[in-house]
Structure 1
Amino acid sequence: MKRLILINGPMGAGKTTVTPLLAQKLSPAVWLDGDWCWKMEPFTVTEENKAVVLENIHTLLGNFLRRGSWETVLFCWVMDHPEILRQVLQPLRDEKIPLWLFTLTCTPEALKARLEKDVKAGIRTPDIIPRSLERLPLYRDMDTVQVDVTRRTPEQAAQVMADLVLGNRERRCWP
């Protein structure tokens, strides 16, 4: 039986690091990072681009859910408003599969330290720090399973989520 897992959280929380680790634990699995659908130069956020990105996400996730030998389909992305979650999930509602919604959270201090490390390594630009920190409170009230990664390694965070999924606990209803 297929299952869909969405991993949410602010920029720098560790979604792109944790998701492949979780995929290994829930193998056979396939995963998609929503950021891959935004790889454009120059990076331009317009209504048309957002629509194309969402359409691509729906197509890829739908194909992964309907085809292939994967039991688990994972998707990670910055989804800081419930409306974004609904937009991602709406076209997939007819798939009738179990759904888990996770949010990686951490303290502002931990998030800032992670982002500063990325800036120093040349992975991110400095403007990401205030943008990510200002969005951090938006995740607290989301109807998702909150996984605090402040003091957890990516491996530990993936294990917490795998235990919940394999134990069939904390599953969410489709919004």
Structure 2
Amino acid sequence: MNVILLNGPMGIGKTTIGTYIADKFNGTAFIDGDWCMDLHPFVGNDETKEMAIDNIIHMIRNYKRCSYCNMVVVAWLMDDEWVIKKLIDGINKLDCDAKNITLVSSEMQLRKQWMNDKNCPWRTEEWLDISIKSLDKFSKMKEAIDITNLSIKEIANLVIKKCQFDN
């Protein structure tokens, strides 16, 4: 089974692209990593990240057992390299092939997308500032792709192209 990990700052469009890909390819499951650490109030430390990794791997294991599932797309903000490595190692132990793609954009593009997202309670000015400050860090990650001025379809096609799996 193939697994696509979509990474990037808050508001970049990970969920939008992940659900678009899942809708485009039959038998694709979508996992939002935030669901896997949905604590109230939110706590984003090493302990809760470890828990989320374990939850994501558990879900992928179950999807792998399902005869209807061919691929999994995981959308999650992974700002620590150790999180990506541990997640990929866990996925590989399931005998699945994982590809990590980090989505980045210009500050202006991120602001535009942020302002257009009216459904997410995290879309505050404070969190926007944090997300913008994280753009440089995400831009330096392996497999980062700039999605500035691209449509959802163009981004999804670019992700799929970069995720050419060997099997």
* Superposed pair shares fold, TM > 0.5: yes
CA distance in 1, matches of 2:10, 2:119: 15
Q: TM-score, normalised by structure 1?
A: 0.82
* Partner Cα distance (2:10, 2:146) in 1: 14
* Contact persistence 2:37–2:51 (CA under 8 A): no
Corresponding residue number in structure 2 for 1:100: 99
Q: Using the alignment, how far apart are the partners of 2:22 and 2:111 within structure 1?
A: 27
**1:54/1:7 Cα in 2 relative to 1: closer, same or farther (>3 Å)?**
same
Match of 2:145 in 1: 147
In the TM superposition, residue 104 of structure 1 has moved relative to its aligned partner by 1.2
CA deviation after TM superposition for structure 1 residue 129, in Å = 0.9
Paired residues of 1:8 and 1:77 also in contact (CA < 8 A):
yes
Q: Which moved more, 1:37-46 or 1:151-160?
A: 37-46
Match of 2:33 in 1: 34
1:112 maps to: 111
Output the amino acid matched with 1:58. I
Letter in 1 for 2:149: R
Q: Number of paired residues?
A: 164
Cα separation, 2, equivalents of 1:50 and 1:34: 10
Give how far 1:122 is off.
5.9
Seen in structure 2, the aligned counterparts of structure 1 residues 147 and 27 have a Cα distance that, compared at 3 Å, is: farther
Give the letter for the 2:73 counterpart. Answer: L
Matched residue, 2:127? 128
Equivalent residue number for residue 161 of structure 1: 159
The Cα shift of 1:68 comes to 3.3
Q: Which runs of 5 or more residues in structure 2 are unaligned?
A: none
Retained in 2: the 8 A contact 1:8–1:78?
yes
CA shift for structure 1 position 45: 3.3
Question: How far 1:65 moved relative to its partner?
Answer: 2.6
In structure 1, C-alpha distance between the alignment counterparts of 2:150 and 2:45, rounded to whole Å: 36
How far off is 1:46 after superposition?
Answer: 4.5
TM superposition score normalised by structure 2 = 0.85
Q: Which runs of 5+ in 1 are unaligned?
A: none
For the residues of structure 2 that align with 1:156 and 1:136, how far apart are their CA atoms? Answer: 21
Percent identity of paired positions between Structure 1 and Structure 2: 26
Q: How large is the Cα RMSD of the aligned pairs?
A: 2.1
